[in-house]
């Protein structure tokens, strides 16, 4: 039971990361391949502030959010003007730097020995994990509502315009760089906050937690679920992390000699799924249009076509009748 | 003074896998215009093919190099024909091609793990001999690797810049329609380029395997620095990749000598972000 709550809390963290990546890549077209860098930096920052500096959880989270916002703002200033492949390389380099510093700065992070123990924020004996899970659940649902609203807002449309044709959006007087910078700063800082929230979840931090596979797990979830759809990130995480990590790894009846293979099979299938989706259905499981949009669109097109057909038919009919009248008039004249 | 001399010497010896990988990677990037993370698996599979021939079939190490490199080339062609070419034909955007290549890379890497396990594997190397050059030591294997790398690099350089075939490759990379109009078969040329790149990656893997060991993560560990070096060198510039990887090797060994090896990586990564920023958008 305790393990299930831990897994579900981790699932929520992954959903949060995928949601942020959805805003960055799905809406704005910023290919952030350094997700684990922001997450890991936040996690270690909170861990260090709690264990080495003995700060309270709330203070640590606030300071962590400010730190992450400053780092993301600085990095965004450096890279967001670059073309997409360059942004991708720069962010992946950033996450590699974070992972290396977690190993080298032993005076702060305790290096490969590991940093611990990080206390639970809710100190009510027995139900602290459940309370933390509920807190995460409310947070993620809140973010999801905001993203659903964002899709319908002016800002959301501006983001999509920036993604699809930045020159055009800029020529209409929109400060696209500022939009990208602010959105990147905020979403990356939230990735760091989610990292900070993972610190009490994991309790004990080691540098080998900051591995690129986390970045790719989030990416695979997003691309699989549908990168441009508001609910795609959530669906993707349920299919990847929920299905493989929680259901299969924890509950499937696997014999011990195969159990060691399961993580490798999982990563193999992640890769295969990603290739399959990109080759056969590039937009992911959920299209960027919601089902209702699609229905409305089809109906709308149907009505429009019908109207055009009727209009054409009427014009033709009128013309024919007119022609006949003319003809008759002429015929009557001669 | 000894510091500079030592770092140049060690850097050259250590850089040989990187030189090969960067040159091969650059070829693919130049031709198809996307960052191919799955190139890392050419490196890993090269090393494992060498293990197969060397340890599995008991072949002499030097004789195992050639078939292993050719198989790595074949693997690279297979990834192009079955995954990347269909995707390119469907008009998948460069940033999505990269995600595709990451997915393929995961698939190949963990498919390999399922077959051979995640443990380190060692090559059955020929007896090691040490040579001394004015106080600096090198093993016979390191020297052979360096010589082979120099031969391969010079050949590739000659192929790209001095032959008609190189002109065909450069023409295709710069303007595909024009190349087709002038009678170049893009399919044939692409297959050959992917083959050459795969062979270079395979050799790179074999030589990293010689220096240390082979494990399924080795290609992934090398690919990031390979991408950085190729981008800093200027994409499409095989000679740039050659020089940049030598510089990166020397710089790494210099920083390693004065501090820790991990700091060398941190410094290189930061320098990379700053170089991208200074260039202001143009990746090439």
Choose the mutation target among B41, B106, B280 for the interface with A, i.e. most A CBs under 10 Å: B106
- CA–CA gap between residue A188 and residue A34 (Å, rounded): 10
- What is the average pLDDT across A259-264? 77
Say yes or no to pLDDT of A189 above 90.
yes
Residues of A in contact with B35 (CB under 8 A): 85, 88-89
Say yes or no to pLDDT of A230 above 70.
yes
C-alpha closest to that of B41 among B160, B283, B214: B214
Residues of B in contact with A78 (CB under 8 A): 273-274, 276-277
Q: Which of A85, A96, A261 sits opposite B95 (nearest CB)?
A: A85
Per-residue pLDDT band at B89 (split at 50, 70, 90): confident
- What is the average pLDDT across A107-116? 78
Residues of B in contact with A264 (CB under 8 A): 110, 113-114, 118
- What is the average pLDDT across B248-260? 79
* B213-241 pLDDT tens trace: 788 888 888 888 888 888 887 766 777 88
Per-residue pLDDT band at B284 (split at 50, 70, 90): very low
Per-residue pLDDT band at B161 (split at 50, 70, 90): confident
Q: Between A51 and B95, where is the model more confident?
A: A51
* CA geometry: angle A48, A54, A57, nearest 5 deg: 80
- CA–CA gap between residue A301 and residue A307 (Å, rounded): 10
Residues of A in contact with B273 (CB under 8 A): 75, 78-79, 90, 93-94
Could you tell me the two tokens for A97?
């730097």
- What is the average pLDDT across B110-135? 75
C-alpha closest to that of A220 among B110, B262, B44: B110
Share of chain A above pLDDT 90, in %: 23
Please write down the long-range contacts of A99-102, taking CB distance under 8 Å and 24 or more positions apart.
Answer: A99/A36, A99/A37, A99/A40, A99/A207, A99/A210, A99/A211, A100/B262, A100/B265, A100/B266, A100/B269, A101/B266, A102/A40, A102/A44, A102/A207, A102/A210
**Are A219 and B110 in contact (CB < 8 Å)?**
no
**Are B269 and A223 in contact (CB < 8 Å)?**
no
- What is the average pLDDT across A57-61? 88
* A76-96 pLDDT tens trace: 998 888 888 888 888 988 998
Q: Given CB atoms, is A88 within the 8 Å cutoff of chain B? A: yes
Q: Given CB atoms, is A103 within the 8 Å cutoff of chain B? A: yes
By CB atoms closer than 10 A (0-12, 13-18, 19+), residue A174 is middle
Q: Point out which residues pair with B131 in neighbouring strands.
A: B138
* B1-25 pLDDT tens trace: 777 777 787 777 778 888 888 888 8
Share of chain B above pLDDT 70, in %: 91
pLDDT score for A183: 93
Q: Running DSSP on this structure, what letter comes out for residue A27?
A: I
| Torsion, CA A302, CA A307, CA A311, CA A313, rounded to 10 | 50
* CA geometry: angle B158, B221, A284, nearest 5 deg: 100
Cα A18–chain centre separation: 3
Residues of A in contact with B224 (CB under 8 A): 92-93, 96
- Dihedral class, residue A118 (left if φ above 0, else alpha if ψ from -120 to 50, else beta): beta
Q: HSE-up of B44 (CA within 13 Å, CB side)? A: 26
- CA–CA gap between residue A58 and residue A90 (Å, rounded): 31
Choose the mutation target among A97, A167, A222 for the interface with B, i.e. most B CBs under 10 Å: A97
Say yes or no to pLDDT of A188 above 70.
yes
Say yes or no to pLDDT of A72 above 90.
yes
Residues of B in contact with A282 (CB under 8 A): 90, 92, 96
Sign of the CA dihedral running A239, A245, A250, A255: positive
* B194-212 pLDDT tens trace: 999 999 999 888 888 666 6
Per-residue pLDDT band at A332 (split at 50, 70, 90): low
Q: HSE-up of A277 (CA within 13 Å, CB side)? A: 28
* Region of poorest pLDDT, from A115-124, B101-110, B159-168: A115-124
Residue with tokens 């981790």: A10
* CA geometry: angle B233, B238, B240, nearest 5 deg: 30
Contact A201, A47 (CB under 8 A): no
Could you tell me the two tokens for A182?
């602010």
Say yes or no to pLDDT of B38 above 70.
yes
By CB atoms closer than 10 A (0-12, 13-18, 19+), residue B53 is buried
- What is the average pLDDT across B108-135? 76
**Are B103 and A278 in contact (CB < 8 Å)?**
yes
Measured distance between the N- and C-terminal CA atoms of chain A, rounded to whole angstroms: 100
- CA–CA gap between residue A243 and residue A235 (Å, rounded): 11
Could you tell me the two tokens for A280?
């056969």
Q: Which of B34, B109, B276 sits opposite A79 (nearest CB)?
A: B276
Q: Name the maximum alpha-carbon separation found in chain A.
A: 111
Q: In angstroms, what separates the C-alpha of B104 from chain A's closest C-alpha?
A: 6
pLDDT score for B226: 87
Sign of the CA dihedral running A240, A152, A25, A35: negative
Per-residue pLDDT band at A317 (split at 50, 70, 90): confident
Per-residue pLDDT band at B174 (split at 50, 70, 90): confident
| Torsion, CA A103, CA A107, CA A108, CA A112, rounded to 10 | 30
Per-residue pLDDT band at B246 (split at 50, 70, 90): confident
Residue B132 belongs to what H/E stretch? strand B130-133
Per-residue pLDDT band at A297 (split at 50, 70, 90): low
Scanning chain B, the segments in alpha helix (DSSP H) are 2-32, 39-51, 61-79, 85-89, 94-116, 140-162, 164-174, 176-181, 186-211, 218-233, 238-258, 261-279
Per-residue pLDDT band at B72 (split at 50, 70, 90): very high
- CA–CA gap between residue B153 and residue B168 (Å, rounded): 19
Say yes or no to pLDDT of A2 above 80.
no
Say yes or no to pLDDT of A187 above 90.
yes
Count Cβ atoms below 10 Å from residue B281 Cβ, excluding itself.
Answer: 12
Say yes or no to pLDDT of B279 above 80.
no
pLDDT score for B235: 67
Contact B218, B44 (CB under 8 A): yes
- CA–CA gap between residue B123 and residue B145 (Å, rounded): 14
Could you tell me the two tokens for B104?
């393929």
**Are B103 and A273 in contact (CB < 8 Å)?**
yes
Query: Three-state DSSP class for B121?
Result: strand
* A18-44 pLDDT tens trace: 999 999 998 998 999 999 999 999 999
* Region of poorest pLDDT, from A325-334, B105-114, B178-187: A325-334
pLDDT score for B75: 94
* A127-184 pLDDT tens trace: 778 888 899 999 999 999 999 999 888 888 888 888 888 888 888 888 888 999 999 9
Residues of B in contact with A223 (CB under 8 A): 99
- CA–CA gap between residue A59 and residue A53 (Å, rounded): 11
- CA–CA gap between residue B87 and residue B98 (Å, rounded): 11
Contact A223, A236 (CB under 8 A): yes
Residues of A in contact with B96 (CB under 8 A): 278, 282
Q: Structure pTM?
A: 0.81
Mean pLDDT, chain B, whole residue set: 82
Q: Given CB atoms, is A264 within the 8 Å cutoff of chain B? A: yes
Choose the mutation target among A177, A220, A262, A271 for the interface with B, i.e. most B CBs under 10 Å: A271
Say yes or no to pLDDT of A193 above 80.
yes
- What is the average pLDDT across B28-48? 89
């Amino acid at each position: 039971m305790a393990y299930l709550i831990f897994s579900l809390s981790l699932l929520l963290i992954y959903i949060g990361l995928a949601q942020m990546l959805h805003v960055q890549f799905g809406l704005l077209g910023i290919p952030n391949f350094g997700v684990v860098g922001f997450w890991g930096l936040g996690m270690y920052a909170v861990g260090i502030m709690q264990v080495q500096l003995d700060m309270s959880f709330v203070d640590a989270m606030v300071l962590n959010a400010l730190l992450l916002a400053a780092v993301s703002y600085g990095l965004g200033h450096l890279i967001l003007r670059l073309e997409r492949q360059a942004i991708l390389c720069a962010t992946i380099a950033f996450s590699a730097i974070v992972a290396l510093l977690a190993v080298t700065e032993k005076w702060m992070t305790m290096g490969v020995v590991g940093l611990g123990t990080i206390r639970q924020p809710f100190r009510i004996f027995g139900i602290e994990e459940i309370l933390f899970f509920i807190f995460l659940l409310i947070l993620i649902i809140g973010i999801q509502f905001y993203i659903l609203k964002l899709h319908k807002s002016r800002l959301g449309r501006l983001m999509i315009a920036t993604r699809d044709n930045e020159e055009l959006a800029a020529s209409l007087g929109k400060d696209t760089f500022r939009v990208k910078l602010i959105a990147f700063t905020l979403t990356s800082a939230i990735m760091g906050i989610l990292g900070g929230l993972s610190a009490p979840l994991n309790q004990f931090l080691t540098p080998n937690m900051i591995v690129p596979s986390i970045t790719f797990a989030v990416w695979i979830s997003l691309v699989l679920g549908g990168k441009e759809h508001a609910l795609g990130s959530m669906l993707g995480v349920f299919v990847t992390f929920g299905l493989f990590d929680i259901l299969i790894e924890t509950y499937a009846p696997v014999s011990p000699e195969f159990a060691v293979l399961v993580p490798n099979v999982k990563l193999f299938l992640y890769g295969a799924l990603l290739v399959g989706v990109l080759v056969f259905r590039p937009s992911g499981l959920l299209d960027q249009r919601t089902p209702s949009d699609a229905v409305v669109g089809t109906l709308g097109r149907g009505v429009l076509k019908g109207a055009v057909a009727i209009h054409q038919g009427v014009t033709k009919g009128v013309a024919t009748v007119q022609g006949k009248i003319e003809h008759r008039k002429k015929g009557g004249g001669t | 003074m000894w510091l500079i001399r030592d770092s140049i010497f060690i850097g050259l010896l250590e850089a040989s896998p990187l030189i090969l990988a960067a040159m091969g990677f650059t070829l693919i990037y130049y031709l198809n215009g996307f960052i191919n993370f799955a190139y890392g698996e050419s490196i890993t599979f090269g090393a494992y093919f060498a293990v197969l021939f060397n340890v599995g079939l008991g072949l002499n190490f030097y004789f195992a190099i050639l078939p292993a490199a050719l198989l790595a080339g074949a693997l690279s062609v297979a990834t192009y024909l079955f995954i990347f070419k269909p995707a390119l034909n469907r008009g998948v955007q460069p940033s999505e091609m990269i995600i595709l290549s990451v997915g393929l890379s995961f698939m190949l890497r963990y498919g390999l793990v399922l077959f051979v396990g995640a443990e380190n594997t060692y090559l059955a190397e020929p007896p090691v001999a040490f040579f001394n050059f004015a106080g600096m030591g090198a093993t016979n294997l390191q020297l052979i690797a360096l010589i082979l790398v120099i031969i391969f690099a010079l050949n590739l350089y000659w192929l790209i810049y001095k032959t008609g075939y190189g002109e065909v490759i450069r023409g295709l990379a710069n303007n595909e329609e024009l190349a087709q109009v002038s009678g170049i078969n893009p399919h044939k040329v692409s297959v050959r380029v992917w083959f050459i790149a795969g062979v270079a990656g395979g050799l790179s893997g074999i030589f990293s395997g010689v220096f240390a060991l082979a494990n399924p993560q080795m290609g992934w560990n090398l690919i990031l620095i390979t991408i950085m070096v190729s981008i800093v060198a200027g994409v499409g510039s095989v000679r740039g990749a050659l020089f940049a990887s030598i510089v990166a090797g020397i710089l790494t060994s210099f920083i390693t000598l004065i501090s820790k090896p991990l700091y060398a990586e941190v410094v290189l990564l930061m320098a990379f972000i700053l170089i991208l920023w200074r260039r202001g958008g143009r990746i090439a």
